[in-house]
C-alpha cells in the first residue's frame, strides 16, 4: 500500500524509483513511490538488505537510480547536475549510522563544514578562517546538542554518542528543510541511543523540519515517527500512521 | 578425550607440479646467472692487497673543510628545494592518479603510468637530460630532484588518497559541497599523516641522491668527490665520504624523529 499526498506542502516525493546492482541481477528498489509532507516524521523500516539505505542515497543521488524521479522541495533532483544538484543537497541533512566526521579536525570545524554548500567555500574549511557569524552559528548548533564545551577538541577523541551529536549539529548547520537519517543510533549503546534519538527528534520538531529515519529499533519508530513506511524486498509493504501501531505487528517485517 | 574429529591433515604435503616446476626453473636460472656473470671469489682475495693500499691512503684530510662545507650546504639546499617543489607538485599529480579522485579512468591510468615512468628512469639519466637542457650546475640537480620526488610522492600520495575512509567525503558530498571542498576538508586532513611520512622519506632520498648528482655535473658535493677520486686524492675523498655520511645520518635521524611525532 502506498500513499501520494497531493498539495503544495510536499517536502519529498519519490515516483517509480528503481535500482538494481550487478548489472540488473540484484534488484534492490522496485517501483518505490511515496510522498512526505513538510514537517512529517517518517520511520523507514524493514529487514537488512530490503533497500532502505539505498532509497535514502538515491534520494540525494549519492547512488544513481536506474529509473524513477525524486522531488525535494518541489525541485526534481533526478536530472540535476553540478550546482543545481549541490543546491538541493544543501537543503537536506544526511545523518549516517557512522557519524562520518573528519577525525583529525576540531569539533567546531566539523560543524562548520555544514555551511560548505552555502557559498562560503574555503572560508569554512577551517574554523580559524571562518567568518565570526558562522563560528557563532556553529557554536549555537553545538550548544543545541549540548557539546559547546567540546568545540576545540579533535573529533577523533569523542565517544560514539558525542560524535553522533556533532554529526547532528553539522546537519543543523546546513539550515536544512529535511533531514534523512540512516540508522542514526544503531552503533550506540541502548542508553546513549535513547538519549541521542530523543534529542535528535526534539530538535527536528523545534525547527519544524521533515525527518525520514531508518531504524531497526521498533520502539523508536513508533515513539518518534508520525508515519511508518515498511519495505520488503525493495517494495513498499506498509505505509501507515504510527499512532495505534503495535510493535508486535511490525515484527512480521523481519520474518 | 571425547570422540574422534576424523583423520588429522598431514603435516606436510607435496607441492603441486606447477609450483615445483617453477621453483626448479628459478633455481636453474640462478645457477646459470652465477656462471654468466663470471663471479670468481678468488679475485676478491687476489685484489685484496691493492685494496688495503688504497684504504691505507684514505686517512681523512680536513684541510679543505671550509670550501667542502660550502659544497655540502649547496647539496643540502638542492635536496630541500628540489624536494619541497616536488612535494607541492605531487599533490595535484596524486589527485589525478588516485582512483577515487581522478575525473575518469583514462586520466587515472595515464597519470599512474606517467608517475611509474618517472620513477623507472634512473636519477642520473634525468640529471644528464637536465644538464643538456639548462647546463651544468645545481639547477639541473634541483630539476632532477623535483622529478624524482614527483615520481616517489605522486605514487604514495595517490595511495594515501585512495586509502582514506570514504565516509567523511560522502558526508560532505551529500551536503552539497563542491569536489574541491570535499578534497580539502575530508580527504586531505585524513591523508596528511601518511603524506608527511612520505615527504620525510622523500627528503632522505633527495639528500642521498643529491650527493650522487654531482658525479655527472649537476651540482653539489658529488663534483668534489669525483675530482678527488679521479686525481687519486684518497685522503680528500675519504673526508668527503665521512662528511656525507655524517650529513645523511643526521638527516635520517631527524626525519625519523619527526616521523615518530606524527
Q: Which of A113, A114, A183 to mutate to test the interface with B (most CBs of B within 10 A)?
A: A113
Q: What is residue B148's predicted lDDT score, i.e. its pLDDT?
A: 92
Q: What is residue A6's predicted lDDT score, i.e. its pLDDT?
A: 45
Q: Average pLDDT for consecutive 10-residue bins of chain B (262 residues)?
A: 69 87 96 88 89 84 84 88 94 91 88 92 89 86 92 93 90 88 89 88 86 78 84 86 87 82 68
Is there a domain that residue B123 lies in? yes
Q: Which residue has the cell 620526488?
A: B149
Q: What is residue A2's predicted lDDT score, i.e. its pLDDT?
A: 43
CATH number of domain containing B101: 1.10.3720.10
Beta-strand pair A92-95/A10-21:
unpaired
Distance, in Å, from the CA atom of A224 to the CA atom of A213, rounded to the nearest integer, reads 10
Q: Which of B100, B164, B176 to mutate to test the interface with A (most CBs of A within 10 A)?
A: B176
Q: Would you call B170 and A62 a contact, using CB atoms and an 8 Å cutoff?
A: yes
Chain B residues close to A102, C-beta within 8 Å: 168, 185-186, 189-190
User: Which segments of chain A are extended strands (E)?
Assistant: 10-21, 26-37, 41-45, 67-72, 75-76, 92-95, 178-182, 210-214, 227-232, 235-241
Distance, in Å, from the CA atom of A87 to the CA atom of A73, rounded to the nearest integer, reads 11
DSSP helix/strand/coil, A106 = strand
Q: Which helix (H) or strand (E) holds B194?
A: helix B188-213
Q: Which of A82, A98, A106, A116 to mutate to test the interface with B (most CBs of B within 10 A)?
A: A116
Which of B58, B83, B40 shows the shortest CA–CA distance to B208? B83
SS3 percent helix, strand, coil of chain A, rounded to 5, is 40, 25, 35
Per residue of chain A (255 residues), give pLDDT as tens.
444 444 458 888 899 888 888 877 778 888 889 999 888 899 988 888 888 889 989 998 998 888 888 988 888 888 888 888 888 898 898 888 888 999 988 999 999 998 887 766 777 777 777 788 888 889 899 888 888 888 888 988 888 888 988 998 999 898 898 999 898 888 778 888 888 888 888 888 888 889 999 988 888 888 888 888 888 888 888 888 878 777 777 777 777
Burial class (CB within 10 angstroms; exposed 0-12, middle 13-18, buried 19+) of B260: exposed
> Quick check: B211 and B33 in contact, CB under 8 A?
no
Annotate A24-59 with b (16+ C-beta within 10 A) or e (fewer).
Answer: eeebbbbebbbbbbbbbbbbbbbeeebbbbbbbbbb
Beta-strand pair A92-95/A67-72:
unpaired
Is there a domain that residue B24 lies in? no
Q: Which helix (H) or strand (E) holds B119?
A: helix B105-120
Is there a domain that residue B48 lies in? no
Residue A153 grid coordinates: 577538541
Question: Which of B174, B186, B189 has the CB atom closest to A62's CB atom?
Answer: B174
Distance, in Å, from the CA atom of B180 to the CA atom of A95, rounded to the nearest integer, reads 22
Beta-strand pair A92-95/A41-45:
unpaired
Q: What is residue A4's predicted lDDT score, i.e. its pLDDT?
A: 44
Tell me the shortest Cα–Cα distance from A184 to chain B, in angstroms. Answer: 13
Write the pLDDT tens digit of every residue in A193-242.
888 888 888 888 888 889 999 988 888 888 888 888 888 888 888 888 87
A66 alpha carbon, distance to own chain's centre: 22
Q: What is residue B90's predicted lDDT score, i.e. its pLDDT?
A: 94
Instruction: Report ipTM (2 d.p.).
Output: 0.85
Is there a domain that residue B15 lies in? no
CB atoms within 10 A of CB A221: 24
Tell me the shortest Cα–Cα distance from B94 to chain A, in angstroms. Answer: 21
Q: Would you call B167 and A96 a contact, using CB atoms and an 8 Å cutoff?
A: yes
Beta-strand pair A178-182/A210-214:
parallel
Is there a domain that residue B28 lies in? no
Is there a domain that residue B240 lies in? yes
Distance, in Å, from the CA atom of B161 to the CA atom of B182, rounded to the nearest integer, reads 12
How many structural domains does chain B have? 1
Average pLDDT, chain B: 87
Q: Which residue has the cell 623535483?
A: B146
Tell me the shortest Cα–Cα distance from B100 to chain A, in angstroms. Answer: 14
Q: Would you call A102 and B170 a contact, using CB atoms and an 8 Å cutoff?
A: no
Q: Would you call B190 and A104 a contact, using CB atoms and an 8 Å cutoff?
A: yes
Is there a domain that residue B59 lies in? no
Confirm or reject contact between A75 and chain B (CB < 8 A): no
Question: Which of A90, A98, A171 has the CB atom closest to B176's CB atom?
Answer: A90
Is there a domain that residue B181 lies in? yes
> Quick check: A27 and A234 in contact, CB under 8 A?
yes
> Quick check: B140 and B219 in contact, CB under 8 A?
yes
Q: What is residue A120's predicted lDDT score, i.e. its pLDDT?
A: 66
Note down the domain range covering B216: 65-260
Half-sphere exposure of A61 toward its Cβ, with a 13 Å CA cutoff? Answer: 21
Confirm or reject contact between A159 and chain B (CB < 8 A): no
Write the pLDDT tens digit of every residue in B187-225.
999 898 889 888 888 888 888 888 888 877 777 788 888
Q: How many residue pairs bridge chain A and chain B with CB atoms within 8 Å of each other?
A: 73
Phi and psi, residue B105, nearest 5°:
-65, -35
Question: Which of A87, A102, A122 has the CB atom closest to B168's CB atom?
Answer: A102
Amino acid at each position: 500500500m502506498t500513499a501520494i499526498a497531493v498539495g503544495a506542502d510536499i517536502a519529498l516525493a519519490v515516483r517509480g524509483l528503481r535500482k538494481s546492482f550487478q548489472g540488473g541481477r540484484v534488484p534492490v528498489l522496485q517501483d518505490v513511490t511515496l510522498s512526505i509532507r513538510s514537517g512529517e516524521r517518517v520511520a523507514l523500516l524493514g529487514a537488512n538488505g530490503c533497500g532502505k539505505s539505498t532509497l535514502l542515497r538515491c534520494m540525494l543521488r549519492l547512488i544513481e537510480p536506474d529509473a524513477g524521479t525524486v522531488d525535494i522541495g518541489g525541485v526534481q533532483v533526478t536530472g540535476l547536475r553540478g550546482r543545481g544538484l549541490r543546491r538541493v543537497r544543501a537543503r537536506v541533512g544526511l545523518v549516517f549510522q557512522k557519524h562520518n566526521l573528519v577525525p583529525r579536525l576540531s569539533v567546531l570545524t566539523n560543524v562548520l563544514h555544514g555551511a560548505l554548500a552555502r557559498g562560503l567555500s574555503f572560508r569554512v574549511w577551517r574554523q580559524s578562517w571562518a567568518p565570526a557569524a558562522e563560528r557563532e552559528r556553529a557554536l549555537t548548533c553545538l550548544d543545541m546538542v549540548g557539546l559547546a564545551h567540546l568545540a576545540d577538541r579533535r573529533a577523533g577523541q569523542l565517544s560514539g554518542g558525542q560524535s553522533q551529536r556533532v554529526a547532528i549539529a553539522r546537519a543543523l548547520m546546513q539550515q536544512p528543510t529535511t533531514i534523512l537519517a540512516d540508522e542514526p543510533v544503531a552503533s550506540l549503546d541502548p542508553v546513549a541511543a535513547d538519549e541521542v534519538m530523543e534529542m535528535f527528534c526534539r530538535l527536528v520538531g523545534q525547527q519544524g523540519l521533515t525527518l525520514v529515519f531508518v531504524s531497526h529499533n521498533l520502539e523508536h519508530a513508533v515513539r518518534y515517527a508520525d508515519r511508518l513506511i515498511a519495505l520488503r524486498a525493495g517494495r513498499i509493504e506498509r505505509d501507515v500512521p504510527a499512532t495505534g501501531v503495535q510493535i508486535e505487528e511490525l515484527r512480521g517485517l523481519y520474518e | 578425550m571425547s570422540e574422534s574429529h576424523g583423520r588429522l591433515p598431514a603435516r606436510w604435503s607435496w607441492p603441486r607440479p606447477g609450483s615445483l616446476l617453477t621453483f626448479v626453473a628459478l633455481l636453474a636460472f640462478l645457477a646459470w646467472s652465477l656462471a654468466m656473470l663470471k663471479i670468481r671469489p678468488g679475485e676478491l682475495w687476489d685484489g685484496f692487497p691493492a685494496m688495503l693500499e688504497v684504504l691505507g691512503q684514505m686517512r681523512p684530510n680536513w684541510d679543505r673543510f671550509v670550501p667542502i662545507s660550502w659544497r655540502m650546504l649547496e647539496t643540502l639546499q638542492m635536496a630541500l628545494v628540489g624536494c619541497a617543489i616536488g612535494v607541492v607538485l605531487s599533490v595535484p599529480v596524486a589527485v589525478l592518479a588516485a582512483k577515487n579522485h581522478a575525473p575518469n579512468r583514462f586520466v587515472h591510468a595515464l597519470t599512474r603510468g606517467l608517475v611509474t615512468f618517472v620513477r623507472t628512469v634512473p636519477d642520473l639519466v634525468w640529471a644528464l637530460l637536465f644538464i643538456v637542457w639548462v647546463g651544468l650546475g645545481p639547477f639541473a640537480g634541483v630539476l632532477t630532484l623535483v622529478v624524482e620526488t614527483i615520481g616517489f610522492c605522486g605514487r604514495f600520495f595517490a595511495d594515501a588518497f585512495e586509502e582514506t575512509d570514504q565516509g567523511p567525503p560522502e558526508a560532505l558530498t551529500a551536503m552539497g559541497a563542491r569536489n574541491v571542498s570535499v578534497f580539502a576538508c575530508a580527504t586531505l586532513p585524513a591523508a596528511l599523516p601518511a603524506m608527511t611520512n612520505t615527504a620525510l622519506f622523500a627528503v632522505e632520498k633527495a639528500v642521498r641522491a643529491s650527493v650522487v648528482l654531482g658525479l655527472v655535473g649537476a651540482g653539489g658535493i658529488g663534483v668534489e668527490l669525483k675530482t678527488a677520486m679521479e686525481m687519486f686524492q684518497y685522503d680528500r675523498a675519504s673526508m668527503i665520504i665521512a662528511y656525507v655520511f655524517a650529513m645523511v645520518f643526521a638527516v635520517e635521524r631527524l626525519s625519523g624523529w619527526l616521523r615518530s611525532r606524527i
